[in-house]
Each structure stands twice: as C-alpha cells, then as structure tokens.
Structure 1
Amino acid sequence: MDLLDRIFLSLKTQGKVWGRVTLGGRYGLAFPKQHAVFIAVMAGNCLINQDEGPLIALNEGDFLFFPAASRFHLRSNAEVAFTTPLTALQLATWQETSILEYQENTVAGVSLVVGCFTLISAEAPLLFQELPSVLHMSANEADILSRQVREMMRDEIASREPGASPTIDRLAEILMIRTIRRAVRDNAWIGGSGWLRALSDARIHRSLQLMHDDLSLIWTVSRLAQAVGMSRSAFADRFRRLVGVTPMAHLTRWRMAFAADLLRSDRKMKIESIASKVGYLSERAFREAFLKTYSCSPNKYRKT
C-alpha cells in the first residue's frame, strides 16, 4: 500500500460543518480560534486571512483549509482595514441554527460552508503539522472529481433532507484529502524540511515506505540504507537534511503514535503485545519510549 494511502487510512479525522455563512455589503468579521478549519465557497467572493497572514482571494468553487489552530478574518474587500469579532449573540445563533447572516445592504456578497476537522487518531497531528499553514484549492485548479464533490455539497445544503449534515461532513473530508494530495503532488513547500516534503526524493520516500509498511520490524539505519542502495552515512545525512530528524527519531515518533491508537482502540490488548507490534522486544524499553513521547505511562494514557 502506498505510504500516503496508509497514512490517510490511519488519520481517523472527522469533518464537522458548523454551518452556512452568508455575508453581504461591506463587512470585516473575525472568527474565533479553531483547529483545522475548512471553508468551501458556494457563491460569490471575499477576502480571507489567517491571524496576521496575507489576504487570500476566495471565489466561488474554492476550498481552503487551515491545518493548524488559528483565527481567521473575512473581509468584503481590501479597503476594510479592521475586522470585528463575532458577537456572543452571533455565535450563539450560528451554533443553534447553523446559519450566520450579515447583510449591511442589498449588495450581493458571499455564501460559505465553514467547519473543522477533529483529529481522532494520534497519527493525524503527525501529518497536519507537516502541512503548509494554508492549503487553497481554487475552482480553476480543481480536477473534475473535486468539482463534482463541491457540487454534491451544494446540492446537499440546498436539499435540507435527512442525512444532509453527515453527508456534507464526509464530502468535506474528501475535499481535504484531495487538497493535501494535490499539495504533495505539486510539491507546494518552498524550502524547509519534513517527511512529507521528503517524499519527492525517491530513496528517502522508499525508506519511509519501508518503515511504515511494518513498524514491528527491527529497523536500523544500516538496514534502511542497504535497502535503498546507499551507504549508511550518506543515507543518514540525506534523511536528516530532508526530513529534519534522524531515521530512528522519525520511526520512534510514528511507532509511539500507532501504539497510542492501539491503547485506546483495543483496551484489552496487553502492553507487551503492543510493544511487539511497534518493534520493541522489551516492554520496559517501550514504556520508557512512550513516557518520553507522551509524558505519561501507557496505562495512564489508555485511561484518559
């Protein structure tokens, strides 16, 4: 199985649409800080920025995703210098009705679907923290399937039939995955390091694939280097330069995340068995590594 396919399957993210936002006239609104916010533009256009980031033009058919926790601001145009936080009444109305409307005058504005992704698995943050601060798939850049998914989302919103809300949530997840995949394919990062960026290097990609294919194997730097046809020193140097950490540090991080998910998904599995599944012959060594990663014991993590 391809590395990204494996990681997407393990994400266990859950899309949750907060509701529709319809804005018109002249406006500048600041939304509260949330994690992994997504915005789909159903009609019209507006400007958006994340915290103090640059303004981004959003147009009908666009899909935008902020992987990290952040505030975002919506403006009718660049002449609006300041944004006003949503009032408690506006937030309460939005939560109760799933509809937020702000119409200063009769000038047509923008219609959005806004929501967020909840990260359920311990592995999901290891992907999200690698992503750019903003992922923006414009209507012009989207492929046919992505456009069809957005049209399905529009139809579900208009239908208001039973089951529309969870359907929209799932459609948002599809758009999120396709947006991430497009960023990886187009190598959307400039400079920096990280395992997702390193997928563009064939040999490092292969080494990452080998690790993730079987976390239970007793991997060493020498064994990985040999598997990808490199000397140990050359492989270790290239891996650290591209990924940002040593091969063993990367492996440990993902082993611990997988173990954390096992602790909560199968509460009857013995710690010794979990340790074996993530490549530890010694339960004690596994417990020490887990404590170092999560600042608590496996047993305590399982109970939380």
Structure 2
Amino acid sequence: MDSLSEVLASCRIQDAVTAKFLLRGPWALSSSGVPGAMIRIAQGKPYWLEVQGATPCWVEPGDWVLLPTGAAHTMASAPGLPATSFTEMIARHAKGLLDAFPLYFQHGGAGALTHMHSSLLWVNAQARHNVLALLPPLLHVPAKQSRLLASWQPGFAALVEHSMLLPPGWRLEAARMGELILAHLLSQFFSAETAGAQGWWRGMADLQVAKALALMHRAPRQAWTVQSLASAAGMSRSRFAERFKELVGIAPIAYLAHYRMAQAAEQLETELHLPLAVIAEQAGYESERVFARAFKRWTGCAPRAYQQQVLEKKRVFARQSQTPV
C-alpha cells in the first residue's frame, strides 16, 4: 500500500444521513455548522456558497463541495439575500430525529431551480484529528477537474433519491459511498496541494519520512523509538530526527503521542464502556491519571468529559428536528 493510502485508511465513516433540496430563486440558507463532514452536489442553477470568514465560492452544476469539519456556511442563489436558517427548515420538514431519517424540503421563490443532493458523514475521531484538521474549511472540486468524480455524480444523486424511500440498508449504503467519495477527494487534495503543506502531509513528500509515518500509522501501539524508526527509514538517528521535525513540524515521538491520543479519542467515542485504564494502556501510558492529564492537555478536557461532549453534540444536532419555530 502506498504511504498516502496508509494514512487515508484511517478515515472511516461511522454513519451517514442524506438530504435532498429543491431550491428556486431567490433563496438563501444558513447553517451554524454540523457535527460531521458534508458532501454536496447540485444540478440546475449555479449558486453561491460562503464559509464564515472566507471569500464566497461560485458553485456550478456537477461541482463537488466538501465541508470537511461541517463549518458554518451560507448558500444562496445570489449574494446579499436574507438567509433562512437550516434549523428552521429542519424543524418544519424533518420526519423524525435528524440523524435517523433523510431530509427533504423545497424552498425559495418561483425562479430557476437548483436541485441539491447531500450526505452528512460522521467521521471517526482518528480521521478528524489527523486528516481533516489539516484541510481548509471548504473544498470545491469543479466538475471538469475529475473525470472519475464526474462519473460518480449520477450514482450519488441516485443513492440519495433512493434513500428517500427508506429502503433497508440505506444508511450503510450512504456511509460506504460517502467513504469512497471522501477518500478520493482527500487523495486528490493531498496529491495536488504541496505549497504550504503541513504536518504528516508535508512529510509524505520525503520517502524516508513517509515510511516512518506509515509504520506509526500501521502499528501505533508498538514501542517505537527514534532509533527504531530511523533504522526502518534507512537513516541515522540524528539525521532522521532532524528531517522529521523539519518536515512534520514536531519530533517523531511527539507525533506518535498525538496519533495515539487520536486513537484514544476514537475509543472514547465508540467504546463507551471501555475502562479508562485500558484506553490509557493502549495509548502507551502505565498510569490512568497520567493519561488523563495528557489527554486534557491535548483536547482541553478530561477523557470522560470529552466523551460526553461528543455524544451531546450529536444529540443536540438530532433534536433540531424537534425544535419549535
């Protein structure tokens, strides 16, 4: 497996929900953000998309849009229109809890139609902390830029349409297609963008550092040392340590600690009853207390508090459909 695939293999979609919007101009919608990665495509009339603090983006029919961390954003048929909040539209049109049913609504006036399909992906913690955190808040891939993505567009739209019927297995289908599309979008981005690269992404440009990174990603619980990583990379210890920090931005063992913490975060999110002592040991800590302090430095909150925050964020999102307007 190539080095980039080694990294992207950690990106897994735990769940997905789909949505379909029929938007006739003039229209504008605002989102305060969602707890996942959002993929969107549209046909018909082009539209404007603006992520908070960024320049508005003109989205043509067939273009792919990825909001890797679900950033707050506004979409509109024209700049400057007053926007209706997604929360309001969800409360009006959702069939039940928002994380359990597809969402469909029509909105706007009597003008040209923008037919939009989207999928909200709940991405695992390892991917959020180690991969998606390196991305800009918006990735926009024009339809003409990728023949492969262009060929997937009808299939994605068909899957979203099919999900509206609530057939058995629709969420698994949405998650697996989302995983495939996300992997390709990330592969394209990390392969093409080299200027201003940071973190492991920049390290991938160096074959020897890339090999060390792949080894840590493949076996994070192994008792790696700078010497063992340097030997595997075919470099002297001092040269490897210097080169790794120059490219990745932190020392090899500090990077390994970060990667293990992301794994611990994933266990806290998915294995709710796993004893903290077990998570600490698998992250390389002999003491649960020392691990808890290190985790708090890394995330800003204690392990169990982090676990509750993540769960509550998803619950709050799901309950938007029950918010009166």
Q: Deviations over 1:9-36 (max 9, x none)?
A: 4433235335212222233332232242
Q: Deviations over 1:215-255 (max 9, x none)?
A: 23322223323332334333323322321222111100112
How far 1:64 moved relative to its partner?
0.9
Q: Write the letter of the residue equivalent to 1:155.
A: A
- 1:119-130, aligned counterparts within 5 Å? 119-130=123-134
The equivalent of 2:59 in structure 1 is 58
The equivalent of 1:137 in structure 2 is 141
Q: Counterparts of 1:294 and 1:3 in 2: how far apart (Å)?
A: 27
Taking structure 1 as reference, are residues 276 and 5 closer, same or farther at Cα in structure 2, changes over 3 Å only?
Answer: farther
Q: Deviations over 1:111-138 (max 9, x none)?
A: 1123422234345322210122222222
Q: Counterparts of 1:102 and 1:289 in 2: how far apart (Å)?
A: 48
Q: Write the letter of the residue equivalent to 2:155.
A: M
The equivalent of 1:194 in structure 2 is 199
The equivalent of 1:30 in structure 2 is 30
Taking structure 1 as reference, are residues 129 and 60 closer, same or farther at Cα in structure 2, changes over 3 Å only?
Answer: same
Q: Deviations over 1:30-56 (max 9, x none)?
A: 223224222122444212111131122
Q: Write the letter of the residue equivalent to 1:100.
A: F
Q: Counterparts of 2:296 and 2:73 in 1: how far apart (Å)?
A: 35
Q: Write the letter of the residue equivalent to 1:29.
A: L
The equivalent of 1:90 in structure 2 is 89
Taking structure 1 as reference, are residues 197 and 85 closer, same or farther at Cα in structure 2, changes over 3 Å only?
Answer: farther
The equivalent of 1:219 in structure 2 is 224
Conserved? CA contact 2:10–2:127, under 8 Å: yes
Conserved? CA contact 2:31–2:87, under 8 Å: no
Q: Which moved more, 1:286-295 or 1:28-37?
A: 286-295
Taking structure 1 as reference, are residues 225 and 83 closer, same or farther at Cα in structure 2, changes over 3 Å only?
Answer: farther
Conserved? CA contact 2:20–2:161, under 8 Å: no
SS, match of residue 64 in structure 1? strand
Q: Counterparts of 1:109 and 1:133 in 2: how far apart (Å)?
A: 26
Q: Counterparts of 2:292 and 2:75 in 1: how far apart (Å)?
A: 47
SS, match of residue 131 in structure 2? helix
- 1:1-304, aligned counterparts within 5 Å? 1-35=1-35, 36-77=37-78, 80-86=79-85, 89-96=88-95, 98-105=103-110, 107-144=111-148, 146-159=149-162, 160-161=164-165, 162-163=167-168, 165-166=170-171, 167-186=173-192, 188-262=193-267, 265=271, 267=273, 271=277, 277-279=282-284, 282-283=286-287, 289-290=294-295, 292-293=297-298
Q: Write the letter of the residue equivalent to 1:124.
A: R
Asked which structure has the greater RCO (Cα within 8 Å, sep 6+), the reply is 2
SS, match of residue 11 in structure 1? coil
SS, match of residue 124 in structure 1? helix
Conserved? CA contact 1:46–1:109, under 8 Å: no
- Superposition CA RMSD, Å: 3.3
How far 1:205 moved relative to its partner?
0.8
Q: Counterparts of 2:295 and 2:30 in 1: how far apart (Å)?
A: 39
Conserved? CA contact 1:34–1:70, under 8 Å: yes
Q: Counterparts of 2:80 and 2:273 in 1: how far apart (Å)?
A: 53
The equivalent of 2:315 in structure 1 is none
Output the TM-score relative to the length of structure 1: 0.80
Tell me the matched-pair count. 297
Conserved? CA contact 1:76–1:109, under 8 Å: no
- Structure 2 gap segments, 5+ residues each: 96-101, 312-325
Output the TM-score relative to the length of structure 2: 0.76
Q: Write the letter of the residue equivalent to 1:76.
A: S
Conserved? CA contact 1:3–1:212, under 8 Å: no
Taking structure 1 as reference, are residues 81 and 127 closer, same or farther at Cα in structure 2, changes over 3 Å only?
Answer: same
Q: Write the letter of the residue equivalent to 2:11.
A: L
How far 1:283 moved relative to its partner?
4.5
